[in-house]
A and B are shown apart, each in its own frame.
Chain A
Amino acid sequence: MDCTEERIHLLDRRRGTLTGELRARVASHLAECEACRREDDVDRELSLALHDRLPKRRAPEALRRSIERRLVGEPLRVSRTIRRTPMALFAAAAFVAVAAAGAIVSWRPLGADPMLAEAVNDHLRVVYSDHPVEIESGGIHQVKPWFTGRLDFAPIVAFAGDDEFPLQGGAVAYFVDRKAATFIFKRRLHVITLLVFRSEGLPWPVLAKHVLGGARGTLESSRGFQVLMWKEADLGYALVSDVPPADLQALAVKIAGGT
């Protein structure tokens, strides 16, 4: 008798799904074949191991909510990111005033690219704020600890700033529906905003072709600003400025630890 053919049915036999002649045939074979009985014992142990020792994971809530919104056809809900502080209100007011004066042509609705729009909006709040930083930079080792207790994650930024891209300071902002660490760099007279936030549950672009050290990012432009976004581990990064794309990419490589 062919053991291979019988062993294919051992799992179904243990599950009680064999019927009729096949069930009788497999039972008869097992009664006669010690090797297949041992095989059955070992395979049963494998079933127990898989069933009992593999974690019964559940999808993260943020992912579930994100998918649910998409299934009902709702656009991504984007909470306003203006923090209710005098400085933030001033920044918002300044931005509205400038926009009304025509310096900024359009506040693009969060249409096809909500993350891109959000990144640019956050950068504009920095640019139009008189005091964009809440902690002045005395170096990255002064800025990063400042976030402790202000965020529900630890922002990982390897780059401490240098002569090309001096670090100005940091602040807490919001990105879409979550808190973000904001790092502000300069490139000559240009302001560069780095947003670091939890990446889960966001509609990340599916293509990321720009190599940033070990990571890959997406470079896009919106309203005259360049936006470079990437993910590392559980964190998302958005780098926004009006500097040339090559400068932004050079800074991103430093931040992503590629130097």
Chain B
Amino acid sequence: MRTAPHLTWALTPDSVAAKVRYPQMEKETVTLPRTALDHIDSLFRVARNLTGRDSDAEDLVQETYTRAIAAGAQFTAGTNLRAWLFRILRNAHIDAYRRARTNPVDGGFDDEFAADTTTMASEPLRGDAELERLRGVVTTDIEAALASLGVDARAIILLDLEGFTETELAETLGCAVGTVKSRLARARSILRERLRDYGS
């Protein structure tokens, strides 16, 4: 059975593509420290949960390093390389989705949360039933529920899971440090909502 082709690799903005088409051949442009490779597993994990497919995740990580290498001169030594790389990954993923327009995350973080602002506190009491459902969810349930979230809701949960600090999350997601906690709490709340459809 043939698998549906994936499109992420075809969705890079033209301007970036023209500049970094085969950057591995441009020796002089590689100014990133070797430690950038230390983050590849983490980038791949997050990319995998953002894209939902191994091959798309590989493409997204490739694209992330491609952009990072092309923009290496803009990286300031001593600043947070991890947050910088993940910000590039997030932007590359959003660029791809905006072009594909096949995913419910088009609207990004704000649009996603605009539709879910009533999920915190004002909802009816959750209790043992939800707890039991959560205990019954399996990997595929969690991945499916994550996939139903907006890009930044998904990203903030995944990056938090990778051990990002509030400052790193703010830097990666391009928001104020003061809003990180509430964003994360809202994202987790929405994820729980989605998980109600799974487990039993």
CB pairs A–B below 8 angstroms (15 shown): A10-B185, A35-B125, A42-B192, A49-B135, A53-B138, A54-B139, A63-B44, A68-B34, A69-B24, A71-B30, A74-B27, A111-B25, A215-B5, A231-B5, A232-B3
Interface residue from B69, B126, B195 paired with A71 (Cβ < 8 Å): B69
The distance from the CB of A37 to the nearest CB of chain B, in whole angstroms, is 10
> Given contacts A59-B44, A64-B37, A70-B24, are A200 and B134 in contact (CB under 8 A)?
no
Is B40 interfacial (CB-CB < 8 Å)? yes
Are B65 and A216 interface neighbours, CB within 8 A?
Answer: no
Q: Give the total of B residues in contact with A, Cβ under 8 Å.
A: 67
Are B40 and A233 interface neighbours, CB within 8 A?
Answer: no
Are B55 and A234 interface neighbours, CB within 8 A?
Answer: yes
Complex contacts, B5 vs chain A, CB 8 Å: 214-216, 230-233, 256
Interface, chain B (partner A; CB < 8 A): 2-7, 9-10, 12, 14, 16-17, 20-25, 27-28, 30, 32, 34, 36-37, 40-41, 43-45, 48-49, 54-55, 58-59, 61-63, 65-66, 69, 120-122, 125-127, 130-131, 134-135, 137-139, 142-143, 157, 161, 181-182, 184-185, 188, 191-192, 195
Are A231 and B182 interface neighbours, CB within 8 A?
Answer: no
Complex contacts, B137 vs chain A, CB 8 Å: 49, 53
Determine, out of A83-91, A201-209, A241-249, the stretch whose residues face the partner at the interface: A201-209
The distance from the CB of B49 to the nearest CB of chain A, in whole angstroms, is 7
In the bound complex, CA of A12 to CA of B48 (Å): 26
By size class, the interface of chain A is: 35 or more
Interface residue from A38, A68, A209 paired with B37 (Cβ < 8 Å): A68
Q: Mark A104-132, 1 if CB is under 8 A from B, else 0.
A: 00000001111000000000000000000
